[in-house]
Amino acid sequence: MATASVSTPLKSHAGLFSSRTAGGRMPLTPSPIQRAAALTVNSSPFTPDRASNDGHRVPSKSVYGGNLAAHFAKASKNHRESPKSNIARVVSTPRKVLELGVSNFTLTGTGAHTKAPASPNAKKPVPVRKKTSKTKLTYNTDRFIPNRSSSSAISNAGSAKIRIRQNHQRPRSVHGDASSILSSATDDAIAALEGLNIDDEEPVSYSRPSPSTVAYQETLADACGVNLKTRILQFKPTPPESSKPIDLRQQYNRPLRPANATSAQFRRRIATAPERVLDAPGLIDDYYLNLLDWSSNNQVAIGLERNVYVWSADEGSVNCLLETSPDTYVSSVKWSGDGAYVGVGLGTGEVQIWDVAEGVKIRSMLGHDTRVGVMGWSKHLLSTGARSGLVFNHDVRIAEHKVAELVSHTSEVCGLEWRSDGAQLATGGNDNLVSIWDARSLAVPKFTKTNHRAAVKALAWCPWNMNLLATGGGSYDRHIHFWNSTSGARVNSIDTGSQVTSLRWSPHYREIVSSSGFPDNSLSIWSYPTLVRNVEIPAHESRVLHSCLSPDGQMLATAAADESLKFWKIFEKKPGSGVGIGSAGAAAKADRPKMMTIR
């Protein structure tokens, strides 16, 4: 019991506490076990002692000294009485020894324990330590019954024993002085003192935080009957953070296979029947022309031979916008961005701009001497691609409209698409080339891609990834290639199995629709970037020549060589997700007869 009290070191931090206990109890405890590292650790206990002294005894120090003898006597008695033979013995021995030393000190002057100054015995530095140790002991005796649970004391006692042994084995070297001084004492006593001394020194360095560990270890080891020499080590680096909070319930319930887009539950239903069919008599069956466009004002323009018709999706009404002179035909139509004007390319190479609301021609722009098969607007710029392979940029605001001549294609240009931000222009031609132009330097194409093996008419810029361009090749090629327009790299390809006549990205879904010529005459909707064909719709009886998306992006219009114009609700938004022009159009259409001749 007494031992236990010794250890108690109240003030020290918890960590110290344990080590100290060891020290106090078995005074010796620590250092030997710990080896070098241990030494430092043990030191700490010392400090605490002082502190404890101060705290408790400050006022009575002198008294303390006087009482020491009595205390010791008590202590020793107690020890003897204590039933635990082992523990008691071990503990007691050192005490006695100490008593002797203590008494000396007390005589000299207990008060200054800190400095513990001059050793009366001429013991040199040792005395100081001794003294400290002394103090500790006395102190302990006082405290005696102390805070420690008896059980811990016991366990400590066991460990203490071991330690003592160890001390014997490798002891003196540490503190030669101490040992010499105490020569008179028994071995145990010496060991004890050494331990104490060591303790004293250590206060300086705390390198080892774990004194508590020692105590725990011992207790635990005792409890489990495990070898006392083990130590518990922890892998110190903190484990990586979990990437997201986890609900275990979810984890246990989670489906064996993650639900993906292909699972029935999530698959989008795509209407495979046309929403509406219109006749388009006289539609020229020519792959290289672009005769269909849907404006931002929800009007569809279609070029039928020498005429351009405008069908209002809102009202279902049809107007004939113009009729060309008999010596030529309409080779391309394109709405301006605001939907107010339509550009019309003619077989003669003339380009006309019409104000649709007024129904009047605003201007004609000459320059091409071959038919203009494709056009594209970028704000006030109208780009026109001609059979000669030339692409002109026209600034429609100025008299000298031709502002750039893009030379790259050697054969008819049939595909042309501005990126939505107007920074890049993609063109495709009958020479199987795809050219990507930087709007700021049009002298040469930024990239010229030769992967297609047939004419490139279908071009589409991805609405959610500005750098992504899709291009589709003709009947000998049948591929859709996807390009990074910044690096020029081909990022994906699809073999569609038939001529690709047009490509349109869905603005709402990660999908792209392609229209096919021979042999399928179908519409195919592909997921991107998985490139899975979600659906293939047998759309027309002959090849699909042109397609365009409604301004709300839900509806696709296709014109085919079978002289029909069909509307497909392939990118329908989920119900309640907003009402677009298309739906309004659809409502309007619903009132109208199913079949409607544009003419």
The smaller minimum CB distance to another protein, of residues 188 and 563, is found at 188
Question: Is 371 within 8 Å of 345 (Cβ atoms)?
Answer: yes
CB of 220 to another protein, least distance (A): 6
The smaller minimum CB distance to another protein, of residues 252 and 266, is found at 252
Question: Is 321 within 8 Å of 333 (Cβ atoms)?
Answer: no
CB of 395 to another protein, least distance (A): 53
CA separation for the pair 507, 462 (Å, rounded): 8
The smaller minimum CB distance to another protein, of residues 214 and 321, is found at 214
Residue 531 zone, left/alpha/beta (φ > 0; ψ -120 to 50; rest): left
CB of 36 to another protein, least distance (A): 13
Half-sphere exposure of 27 (CA within 13 A, CB side): 34
CB of 236 to another protein, least distance (A): 5
Query: Which helix or strand (DSSP H or E) is residue 37 part of?
Result: helix 30-52
N- to C-terminal Cα distance for the chain?
113
The smaller minimum CB distance to another protein, of residues 84 and 510, is found at 84
The smaller minimum CB distance to another protein, of residues 249 and 574, is found at 249
CB of 258 to another protein, least distance (A): 8
Question: Is 262 within 8 Å of 581 (Cβ atoms)?
Answer: no
For 292, phi then psi, to 5°, come to: -135, 135
Tokens coding 509: 């879904």
SS3 242: coil
CA separation for the pair 517, 429 (Å, rounded): 17
CB of 97 to another protein, least distance (A): 22
CB of 224 to another protein, least distance (A): 7
C-alpha angle 37/39/42, rounded to 5°? 115
Tokens coding 315: 């009202």
CA separation for the pair 513, 516 (Å, rounded): 10
The smaller minimum CB distance to another protein, of residues 90 and 137, is found at 90
The smaller minimum CB distance to another protein, of residues 165 and 592, is found at 165
Q: Write the CA distances from 73 to 60, 89, 108, 185, 497, integer angstroms.
A: 19, 15, 20, 18, 106
Binding residues vs another protein (CB under 8 A): 33, 155, 158-159, 161-162, 165-166, 208-210, 212-213, 216-217, 220-222, 224-240, 242-249, 251-252, 254, 258
b/e map 133-151, b = 16+ CB within 10 Å = bbbbbbbbbbbbebebeee
The smaller minimum CB distance to another protein, of residues 85 and 577, is found at 85
CB of 248 to another protein, least distance (A): 4
CB of 44 to another protein, least distance (A): 14
CB of 185 to another protein, least distance (A): 23
CA separation for the pair 103, 123 (Å, rounded): 15
The smaller minimum CB distance to another protein, of residues 239 and 593, is found at 239
Residue 298 zone, left/alpha/beta (φ > 0; ψ -120 to 50; rest): left
Half-sphere exposure of 169 (CA within 13 A, CB side): 10
The smaller minimum CB distance to another protein, of residues 217 and 408, is found at 217
Question: Is 46 within 8 Å of 16 (Cβ atoms)?
Answer: no
Helical segments of 53-84, H only: 61-81
CB of 218 to another protein, least distance (A): 10
The smaller minimum CB distance to another protein, of residues 51 and 162, is found at 162
The smaller minimum CB distance to another protein, of residues 19 and 140, is found at 19
Cα radius of gyration (the chain)? 48
Tokens coding 141: 């005796």
CB of 209 to another protein, least distance (A): 7
CB of 153 to another protein, least distance (A): 14
The smaller minimum CB distance to another protein, of residues 90 and 555, is found at 90
- What is the 3-state secondary structure of 442-493? CCCCCEEECCCCCCEEEEEECCCCCCEEEEEECCCCCEEEEEECCCCCEEEE
Contacts of 184 (CB under 8 A, 6+ apart): 100
Question: Is 335 within 8 Å of 294 (Cβ atoms)?
Answer: yes
For 131, phi then psi, to 5°, come to: -60, -50
